[in-house]
C-alpha cells in the first residue's frame, strides 16, 4: 500500500478513540511507596551495564505523586483515552498472596481523576514489572506455569476494584518482548539467555492471558484486549523464494506465535517445531489452547518499524528471534529515529490490512506508535518537527488502512511523557510532553499541540 501525502482532509470514523499511552515502571517512580514490592526491573536496572548509565525507575517522572497534574495536562492536551499499566507489585507485593490495598488505592484515585476530567481510562495489567518474588528463590518467572495462575489472581482482585469504572482491559503488553528480550536475548529483565525458557515463557504468558481473561469476564469486563508488538517482515527480494521463506520464519516467531493461538486456537506448525527443537513443547498442556483462544473484543497493536531480511547461508540466529539461523537482518532504507528504528508508515497500513484479512472480525486499535528524538528545551518550547512528521505519516497510514476496510477503532501515541525507556534509561525521549528530570516540570512539545488539533478535528 502506498501512503499518499494527500492535500485533502482525511476524516476518521465517528467515535474513533484518540489518546496516549504510558507504563507503570516507566513513569511512576515511588518504587518503595505505600507497600509496593520489588519487581524484576528494580533488580535488573541495578545490574552492571544492563541499563544505560545505571538509570533506574526509582523516581522516573514521579507520576505516582504528580498524577493529578498529569491528568490535568492530558485533559488540556485533548487526550481522550489514556492507556496506562498497573504495577502488579503494588497490588500484590509478593506476586501472590496478600493484597496491598494502598497499592490499589492509587489506581482507584487515578481512575477517578481521569473520569472527572473526561478522560477514558484503559488499563493494562502487565507491562513487564513482574513481582521479584516470582523470579527468585527458585521461581522462574514466566518460565514457570504457576506464574500464569498468579497473574489471573492478580487480574481478578484488580478488576474487582476497578471494573465498575474502567471499561477496557488489556491483559499483557507485548508478550514477545517479555519472552524473547527477557529470556532469549537478555536485553530486558530478567536478563536470561535461554531459548527453552523463552519458549516456555511465551506459552505461559499466553496461558496467563487466557486465565486472566476468564477472571476479567467474571468481573464483568466488557471490552477485553491483548496488545501485541507486530511488524511486517519484508523479504529483501520478494521474487526469491529463499528470502520469502526467511521472512516467513521471522514472521512466525514475532507475529504468528501469538496471533494464531489467541485468534485461531492453535500454534502454527513451524512454531510447534521450534517449541520441540528448544525442548519446550511439554509446556503446552491439553486444554491450554482453549483457554488462550477465548474471544477478545479488541486487539491492540504496537507498531514502530517493519523488518527486512534475506536468506544467508551460515548466518547465526538473531538473539531476539531463536530459530532464525540462516536469516540476515538488513538495514532498511529511509530516515531513522533516535532509536535507530526506520521510519516506514507503509509498514503500519500493510500490517493493519493483513490482520483484517487473515484474522477477520477482530477490531483493532493502535495502542502504541511514536518515535524517540533528541529533543531540546529552548526556553519553554520543544520544537520536534520530526516527531510531527512521524505521527502524521503513521496517521495517514492508519487512514489508508481504514479506507482499505480495516476495522481500526483508535490510535494512541507512545508516549504521553518522556520516560524510562527500559535498557536505554532516560536517554531516549518518546514523549509528546518533555520532562525535565531535574525539576520534574512538564513541557508540551510542538507535537503535543499538533496532535491536539488532529484529535479535536477527528481529521488530518
Ligand atoms: C515498546 N524491540 O517496547 C513498549 O511497549 C514500550 O514500553 C516502549 O517504551 C516502547 O515500545 C518504545 O521502545 C519495545 O526491541 C521495546 O523490538 C523493544 C522492542 C519493541 C518494543
Dihedral over alpha carbons 126, 131, 136, 140 (to 10 degrees): -20
Q: Are 446 and 384 a contacting pair, CB within 8 Å?
A: yes
pLDDT one-digit tens code per residue, 105-128: 999 999 999 999 999 999 999 999
pLDDT at 460: 96
Strands 433-436 and 441-444: antiparallel
Q: What is the pLDDT of residue 8?
A: 85
The answer to the question of whether 450 is labelled as a binding residue is: no
Give the pLDDT confidence score for residue 297 in this predicted structure: 98
Residues with CB under 6 A from ligand 1: 23, 26, 173-174, 177, 229, 302, 368, 414, 421, 430
Q: Say how many CA atoms lie within 13 Å of 142 toward its Cβ.
A: 36
Q: What would the pLDDT profile of 29-65 be if each residue is shown by its tens digit?
A: 999 999 999 999 999 999 999 999 999 999 999 999 9
Helix (H, G, I), strand (E, B) or coil at 311: strand
CA quadruple 116, 21, 80, 13: dihedral, nearest 10:
-160
Phi, psi of 360 (to 5 degrees): -65, 165
Residue 364: is the preceding peptide bond cis (ω within 30°)?
A: no
> For this structure, is 174 an active site residue?
yes
| Element spanning 214, H or E | helix 195-218
Instruction: Quick: pLDDT tens for 164-219.
Output: 999 999 999 999 999 999 999 999 999 999 999 999 999 999 999 999 999 999 99
Instruction: Give the three cell numbers for residue 402.
Output: 481504514
- pLDDT at residue 92 above 70? yes
Quick one: which atom of ligand 1 is closest to the CA of 227? 5
CA separation for the pair 145, 234 (Å, rounded): 34
pLDDT of 344-399, one tens digit each?
A: 999 999 999 999 999 999 999 999 999 999 999 999 999 999 999 999 999 999 99
Q: Is 421 annotated as a binding residue?
A: yes
pLDDT the model gives residue 1: 57
Residue ranges of E strands in 14-108 = 17-21, 81-85
Tell me: is residue 304 an annotated ligand-binding position: yes
Has residue 420 got a pLDDT over 80? Answer: yes
What pLDDT, on the 0 to 100 scale, is given for residue 6? 56
Closest atom of ligand 1 relative to the 231 alpha carbon: 17
Q: What does the pLDDT read at residue 3?
A: 64
127 is in an annotated binding site: yes
Q: Please report which residue ranges of 128-268 form alpha helices under DSSP H.
A: 146-162, 175-176, 182-183, 195-218, 241-251, 257-264
The cell numbers describing 12, all together, are 476518521
- In this structure, what is the dihedral angle of CA atoms 230, 236, 237, 241, given to the nearest 10 degrees? -60
How far does residue 97's CA lie from ligand 1's centre (Å)?
30
Ligand 1 atom 9: the closest Cα is on which residue? Answer: 421
pLDDT(415) > 80 = yes
Identify the weakest region by mean pLDDT among 2-6, 310-314, 357-361.
2-6
Three-class DSSP category at 18: strand
Half-sphere exposure of 352 (CA within 13 A, CB side): 33
**Does residue 7 have a pLDDT over 80?**
no
- What confidence tens digit (pLDDT) does each residue in 263-304 have? 999 999 999 999 999 999 999 999 999 999 999 999 999 999
What is the position in ligand 1's atom list of the atom closest to the CA of 370? 12
**Given the residues 28, 76, 174, 358, the one annotated as active site:** 174
Q: Taking residues 436-446, what's their average pLDDT?
A: 98
Catalytic residue selected from 28, 113, 153, 368:
368
CB 244 within 8 A of CB 235: yes
**Mean pLDDT value across the chain:** 98
Amino acid at each position: 500500500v502506498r501512503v499518499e501525502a494527500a492535500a485533502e482532509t482525511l476524516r476518521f470514523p465517528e467515535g474513533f478513540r484518540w489518546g496516549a499511552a504510558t507504563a507503570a515502571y516507566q513513569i511512576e517512580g515511588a518504587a518503595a511507596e505505600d507497600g509496593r514490592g520489588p519487581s524484576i526491573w528494580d533488580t535488573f536496572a541495578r545490574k552492571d551495564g544492563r541499563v544505560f548509565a545505571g538509570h533506574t525507575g526509582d523516581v522516573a517522572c514521579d507520576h505516582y505523586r504528580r498524577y493529578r497534574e498529569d491528568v490535568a495536562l492530558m485533559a488540556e492536551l485533548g487526550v481522550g483515552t489514556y492507556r496506562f499499566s498497573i504495577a502488579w507489585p503494588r497490588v500484590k507485593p509478593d506476586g501472590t498472596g496478600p493484597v496491598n490495598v494502598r497499592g490499589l488505592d492509587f489506581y482507584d484515585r487515578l481512575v477517578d481523576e481521569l473520569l472527572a476530567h473526561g478522560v477514558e481510562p484503559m488499563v493494562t495489567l502487565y507491562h513487564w514489572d513482574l513481582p521479584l518474588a516470582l523470579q527468585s528463590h527458585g521461581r522462574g518467572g514466566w518460565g514457570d506455569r504457576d506464574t500464569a495462575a498468579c497473574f489471573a489472581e492478580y487480574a481478578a482482585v484488580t478488576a474487582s476494584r476497578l471494573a465498575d469504572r474502567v471499561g477496557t482491559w488489556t491483559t499483557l503488553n507485548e508478550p514477545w518482548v517479555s519472552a524473547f528480550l527477557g529470556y532469549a536475548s537478555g536485553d530486558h529483565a530478567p536478563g536470561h539467555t535461554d531459548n527453552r525458557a523463552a519458549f516456555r515463557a511465551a506459552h505461559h504468558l499466553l496461558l496467563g492471558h487466557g486465565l486472566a481473561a476468564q477472571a476479567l469476564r467474571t468481573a464483568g469486563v466488557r471490552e477485553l484486549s491483548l496488545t501485541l508488538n507486530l511488524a511486517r517482515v519484508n523479504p529483501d527480494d520478494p521474487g526469491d523464494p529463499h528470502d520469502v521463506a526467511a521472512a516467513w520464519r521471522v514472521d512466525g516467531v514475532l507475529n504468528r506465535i501469538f496471533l494464531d493461538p489467541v485468534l485461531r486456537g492453535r500454534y502454527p506448525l513451524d512454531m510447534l517445531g521450534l517449541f520441540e527443537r528448544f525442548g519446550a513443547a511439554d509446556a503446552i498442556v491439553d486444554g491450554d489452547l482453549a483457554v488462550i483462544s477465548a474471544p477478545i473484543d479488541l486487539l491492540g497493536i504496537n507498531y514502530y518499524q517493519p523488518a527486512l531480511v534475506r536468506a544467508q547461508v551460515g548466518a547465526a540466529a538473531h538473539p531476539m528471534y531463536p530459530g532464525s539461523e540462516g536469516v540476515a537482518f538488513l538495514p532498511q532504507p529511509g530516515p531513522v529515529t533516535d532509536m535507530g528504528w526506520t521510519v516506514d508508515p507503509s509498514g503500519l497500513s500493510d500490517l493493519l490490512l493483513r490482520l483484517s484479512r487473515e484474522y477477520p472480525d477482530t477490531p483493532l486499535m493502535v495502542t502504541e506508535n511514536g518515535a524517540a528524538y533528541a529533543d531540546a528545551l529552548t526556553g519553554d518550547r520543544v520544537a520536534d518537527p520530526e516527531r510531527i512528521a512521524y505521527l502524521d505519516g503513521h496517521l495517514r497510514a492508519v487512514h489508508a488502512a481504514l479506507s482499505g476496510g480495516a476495522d481500526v477503532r483508535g490510535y494512541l501515541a507512545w508516549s504521553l511523557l518522556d520516560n524510562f525507556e527500559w535498557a536505554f534509561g532516560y536517554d531516549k525521549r518518546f514523549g509528546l510532553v518533555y520532562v525535565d528530570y531535574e525539576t520534574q516540570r512538564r513541557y508540551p512539545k510542538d507535537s503535543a499541540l499538533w496532535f491536539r488539533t488532529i484529535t479535536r478535528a477527528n481529521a488530518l
